Amino acid sequence: MDNITKEYEMGHFPVYVSEGASEKKLAQIKSNNYLSHCYHELLNVMEVSLF
């Protein structure tokens, strides 16, 4: 918890999507370069771990 507080005090805030429906969430993720990159990296990890 201390680390989270320190990051917050330094002006570092988490990025999250609070849209209601999953379709809107995915659209928001895809419209943000950082979140889109993370999303695609996660998909790659999930594909590798399934095989």
Q: Which of 5, 3, 2, 25 is nearest to 15 (CA)?
A: 25
Asked if 28 contacts 17 with a C-beta cutoff of 8 angstroms, the reply is yes
What is the value of pTM for the model shown?
0.62
What the block records as the tokens of 41 is 């990296």
Compute the distance between CA of residue 23 and CA of residue 29 in angstroms, rounded to an integer.
Answer: 10
Contact 17, 36 (CB under 8 A): no
The four Cα atoms 10, 4, 41, 21 give a dihedral, to 10 degrees, of -100
How does pLDDT run across 6-46, given as a tens digit for each residue? 988 999 888 888 878 999 999 999 999 999 999 999 999 88
The residue to which tokens 């999953």 are assigned:
22
**Confidence band of 1 (pLDDT split at 50, 70, 90):** confident
pLDDT at residue number 30: 93
